[in-house]
Structure 1
Amino acid sequence: MVVEIAQLFSPQRIGDSKTAVILALYFPLGLILAILRLFIGLHVFIIACILPIQVPFRRALLRTMYTVLGFIVYPSNQQYRNPNVKVIVANHVSVLDHVIIGLIFPSVVPNVWSLPPFLNWALGYTNMGAAQGRQVFLDAVRKHCRQDTRPVLAFPEGAMTNGKAGLLKFSTWAFSLERDIQPMTVTISRPLLNIKAEVLGSSLWQDLLWFLFVPFTVYRIKVLPVEERSDFENADDFSRSVQEIMADDMGLISSPFTSADKAEYVKKLGVQQPRERSTQPPQVRQTINTPPRPSGESPRSSRESPVDKMIKQVQEVMPHIPAHIIRKDLETTRSVDATIFNILENKTEIPIPAEEVPSSSTGSAMPLSTPHTNPQSLPHNTFCMTSQDSPSSTLSTPSPACTKFAADKFGSSSRERQLSLQERKAALLANARKRFTETSKVSN
């Protein structure tokens, strides 16, 4: 079963016309309830600030007061909770997920965005140096795991979903901390009013006000058995394995979409999306990383458009492809990886004539499998560089170097297609390194 990206998010707060009618009748009562809960919430905040986190009485009192605020929490499978496991991962369905989980299992949520110190502390986040880079952040989290009894709570999806169709692809930073991971699943429902907890374009304060407005919100926290990373698994494989386990338990699909895909989807819809708080540390967020500007580069060149920067990234891997060809494809894909894949698979919307490929120093062009290429002389989906095309052609022992970058067959699953793409990328980079080495030998 394949899930579309539109199924992972809710575009509208009110689900159907029946809910709209009920909401109109409920509105006066809901408004009064929201005002009363706002004042009660201030008292809850003061109590949460005064009482120590580790005190059991604090959790019991806060859980009671949160019930008054309309938060009904049902934990299950608590026997699977291992206090020795220092990393908890959960799916992300609302802005208060970390607060609700913290009521049952006291934990620390690393702060990976810039917030004022007081607001950072008030919302229950812990600053672990994310602004100083990925390695500093990971070192600080590992230090916390060694020295503190409270576990680290991570939301590896990196963005909120509606929790109805599938899970976003997990980032790997949380799975590189410890060998053992404690998965938990979070589901949310509002039985009396079918009003979504989070929608595309909503802000933090809008979501909070709706929590106070509706009669109540039901959270179900389910603890899953501890998962241990094997010696043959890296962090990426381990994250995919845990994602599939959590998705199967929730009856959802383990999707290949990332938090970056959500951002692109929001842009495509033209929704005024507020700056969403990413739950991934710097350089771990699954977006296109633009290379840093060299120290000698002029300020004018730093004001390049995003498309120009992406063109440069593509040409770093495929310098023989003209810029206008790359630009045409980027206007459709808006992705460096997708454009490289299209060129490798000859799926560019604009055909690439052989005469437009830049010639090497010997005057010969690098042949590329296009409609203008003789299929008898060059296999399909293959980049070929002969000894005449190579900078080392001045040597007396020419040797052809052909590398196949296309899969023998189209993968039947998204995982197979992703692995095939990674293999082709690795082959392309290996060929580029070989060409660079040959060029260096000639220049020396």
Structure 2
Amino acid sequence: MENRGIEDMFDFRRFPKDAAVLLLLLIYFPVGICLMLIRIFVGVHVFLVSCALPESFIRRFIVRIMCSVLGMHVRTKNPRSRDKNTKLYICNHVTEFDHNIINLLTPCHTPQLEGSTGFVCWARGFMEIRSASGQGAIGDTLQRYCSTEGTPPLLLFPEEETTNGRAGLLKFSSWPFSLTDSIQPVALRVTRPLIALSTPDSSWMKELLWTFFAPCTVYHVSWLPTVSRQDGESIQEFANKVQEVKPMFAG
């Protein structure tokens, strides 16, 4: 890992460099366009179903099956390792839809820290923090949320930017680790044939259309052991310890 630079963590090209793969992509292109149009239609129904059904295992199962039609497949590893008592999940960040995928497996909320608010925020599956103004206020709000009985766990991405998930992890921001003394890391690996998972500065809407265009996108979710903060351990030390629990990018 020492020989890799930060540029290796991002895909700056949407299309492959390999001539054979590029030729295969050109052959697939009309099929991909048809798939994208069909999946846009199906995606509207997935959204309506997810809105109409109350939160439950049945709802998550139905939506997960429908997402498979959209080309978004979910595979889990060590599902019994999920800690039902934890109030905070920490995950590496690969695509704009990671929070939606984790939410198919277990109820959790991901706050919208920046970007669109209102209907778009809600439609994308984010939890809007209306009262927060600044990082400190956000932390206080989420800390109170974590201490409230009966609320679903939070899901946070301390990298704060998406990467390709192959070369390593961006340095974790320390503030999420101040919310609670016990967290469960979630390792996410995403694979997709023919085209890159994401490119810098691409909008979530473009990423959604490319997801519909691609043959499939497979999300591999692994539940890692719960990590607790020790007495005298600083927040940054806690963050570093969680980041080193296991290479989340290992595939």
TM-score (norm. length: structure 2): 0.94
Stretch moving more, 205-214 or 112-121? 112-121
Distance apart, 1:102 and its partner CA: 0.6
* 8 A contact 1:8–1:164 mirrored in 2: yes
Matched, 1:48 2:54: no
Take 1:222 and 1:168, find their aligned partners in 2: how far apart are those partners? 19
* Matched residue SS, 2:147: helix
Aligned to 2:78: 77
The answer on whether the counterparts of 2:169 and 2:249 sit within 8 Å (CA) in structure 1 is no
Match of 2:196 in 1: 196
Report if the CA contact (8 A) 2:186-2:221 is conserved: yes
What displacement does 1:200 show? Answer: 2.4
- For residue 438 of structure 1, what is the aligned residue in structure 2? none
CA distance 1:138–1:181, shift in 2 (3 Å)? same
Q: Cα offset for 1:239?
A: 0.5
Shift of the alpha carbon at 1:130? 6.8
Task: Give the match for residue 177 of structure 2.
Answer: 175
For the residue of structure 2 that corresponds to 1:95, the secondary structure is coil
Aligned amino acid, residue 127 of structure 2: T
- In structure 2, C-alpha distance between the alignment counterparts of 1:128 and 1:9, rounded to whole Å: 29
Structure 1 position 219 matched with structure 2 position 233: no
Separation in 2, partners of 1:149, 1:77: 24
2:44 counterpart letter in structure 1: L
Superimposed CA distance per residue, residues 408-436 of structure 1 (whole angstroms, 9 cap, x where no aligned partner): xxxxxxxxxxxxxxxxxxxxxxxxxxxxx
The verdict on how the C-alpha distance between 1:48 and 1:232 changes in structure 2, with shifts beyond 3 A counting, is same
Residue 95 of structure 1 corresponds to which residue in structure 2?
Answer: 96
Q: Aligned-pair distance for 1:129? A: 4.1
2:188 to 170, 183, 186: 186
Deviation at 1:52, TM superposition (A): 1.7
Tell me the amino acid that sits aligned with residue 197 of structure 2. A
Task: Please tell me whether the aligned partners of residues 9 and 200 of structure 1 are also in contact (alpha carbons under 8 angstroms).
Answer: yes
Structure having the higher Rg: 1
**1: CA distance, partners of 2:54 / 2:250:** 38
Q: Flag the 1:162–1:130 CA change in 2: closer, same or farther, 3 A.
A: farther
2:162 partner amino acid:
M
Aligned to 2:151: 149
- For 1:363-402, what aligned pairs fall within 5 Å after superposition? none
Alpha-carbon shift at residue 135 of structure 1 (Å): 2.6
Does the 8 Å CA contact 1:87/1:151 hold for their aligned counterparts? yes
Check conservation: 1:113, 1:130, Cα contact below 8 A. Answer: no
In the superposition, the TM-score normalised over structure 1's length comes to 0.54
Quote the residue 1:28 is aligned against: 30
2:167 match: 165
Q: Distance in 2 between matches of 1:11 and 1:132?
A: 33
Task: Please give the residue correspondences for 1:275-354 in structure 2 after superposition, counting only pairs within 5 Å.
Answer: none
| CA distance in 2: counterparts of 1:223 and 1:181, whole angstroms | 11
2:21 aligned with 1:19, yes or no?
yes
Unaligned runs of 5+ in 1: 253-444
Give 2:84's aligned amino acid.
P
Structure-1 residue corresponding to 2:121: 120
> Are residues 130 and 12 of structure 1, via their aligned partners in 2, closer, same or farther at CA, if it must alter by over 3 Å?
farther
- 1:195 positional shift: 1.1
Separation in 1 of the partners of 2:13 and 2:238? 34
Identity over aligned pairs, percent: 38
Specify whether residues 114 and 201 from structure 1 end up closer, same or farther in structure 2 by C-alpha distance, changes over 3 A only: closer
Once residues 249 and 96 of structure 2 are traced to their aligned partners in structure 1, the CA distance between those partners, rounded to angstroms, is: 20
Asked if residue 243 in structure 1 is aligned to residue 243 in structure 2, the reply is: yes
Counterpart for residue 344 of structure 1 = none
CA contact (8 A) 2:167 2:249 kept: no
Supply the RMSD in Å over aligned alpha carbons. 1.5
The secondary structure found in structure 2 opposite 1:153 is strand
What is the total number of aligned residue pairs between the two structures? 248
CA shift in 2, pair 1:219/1:251, >3 Å: closer
Structure 1's consecutive aligned runs of 4 or more residues displaced over 6 angstroms after TM superposition are: none
User: Would you say the 8 A contact 1:129–1:140 is kept in 2?
Assistant: no
Deviation of 1:204 after TM superposition, in Å, equals 1.6
State the one-letter code of the partner of 2:95: S
Describe how 1:237-276 pairs up with structure 2 within 5 A: 237-247=237-247, 250-251=249-250
Report the more deviating stretch, 72-81 or 11-20: 11-20
- Matched-pair contact (CA < 8 Å) for 2:117–2:128: no
Q: Are 1:129 and 1:137, in contact at CA under 8 Å, matched by a contact in 2?
A: no
Aligned to 1:229: 229
CA contact (8 A) 2:174 2:235 kept: yes
Q: CA deviation at 1:203?
A: 2.2
| Change in 2 beyond 3 A, CA 1:135/1:200 | closer
Q: Which amino acid aligns with 1:234?
A: S
Distance 2:201 2:143 in 1: 34
